[in-house]
């Protein structure tokens, strides 16, 4: 086996072949067409869909209103995981439950968030750290976060 040096003519030939192999695609033979401009969606129909009762239509419309409200006024919670409940809270941001599609984005800082989710049991040791931020944020306790309705 022969040793090839970088500045040998054989290496220059191999480099040229490698560069030519990368750019072998042919230009498109199809006519270039302009994409169609986006049109606004038509307004929702006020007519009742066929086959749906009035009660079901009411429930569906209220669920649609709720989903639109959640998307429009989405909250940015801060996670404050204290125990194993924090793992369950992390699952809500993962692919299976995916709260991102509803506009819920977990934020790392209390100054960037709208509310704080305390997942887990709050102990006396962690209460001072939590008290520091409860005056500024709405706090949601999960499971056994607070016993007796008092903080700390």
CA distance 76 to 105: 5
User: Count of CB atoms within 10 A of residue 83's CB?
Assistant: 15
Residue that wins the pLDDT comparison between 144 and 122 = 122
pLDDT above 60 for 63: yes
User: Count of CB atoms within 10 A of residue 70's CB?
Assistant: 14
Quick one: average pLDDT of 5-22? 57
- Residue 2: the pLDDT is 53
pLDDT tens string 33-48: 676 666 666 666 666 6
CA distance 47 to 19: 63
pLDDT bin (cut points 50, 70, 90) of residue 57 is confident
| pLDDT, the chain, mean | 72
Looking up tokens 């990368």, which residue turns up? Answer: 22
CA distance 142 to 117: 7
pLDDT tens string 135-149: 777 777 766 555 555
Chain centroid to CA 135: 28
pLDDT tens string 64-96: 777 777 667 778 888 888 888 888 888 888 888
Percentage above 70 pLDDT, the chain = 60
**What structural domains does the chain harbor?**
75-152 (3.40.50.12280)
């Amino acid at each position: 086996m022969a040793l090839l040096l970088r500045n040998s003519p054989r290496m220059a030939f191999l480099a040229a072949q490698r560069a030519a192999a990368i750019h072998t695609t042919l230009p498109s033979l199809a006519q270039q067409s302009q994409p169609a401009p986006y049109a606004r969606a038509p307004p929702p129909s006020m007519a009742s869909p066929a086959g749906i009762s009035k009660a079901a239509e009411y429930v569906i419309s209220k669920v649609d209103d709720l989903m639109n409200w959640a998307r429009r006024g989405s909250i940015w919670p801060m996670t404050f995981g204290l125990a194993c409940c924090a793992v369950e809270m992390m699952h809500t941001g993962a692919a299976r439950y995916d709260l991102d599609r509803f506009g819920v984005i977990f934020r790392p800082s209390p100054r960037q968030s709208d509310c704080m989710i305390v997942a887990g049991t709050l102990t006396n040791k962690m209460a001072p750290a939590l008290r520091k931020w409860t005056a500024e944020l709405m706090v949601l306790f999960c499971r056994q976060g607070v016993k007796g309705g008092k903080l700390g």
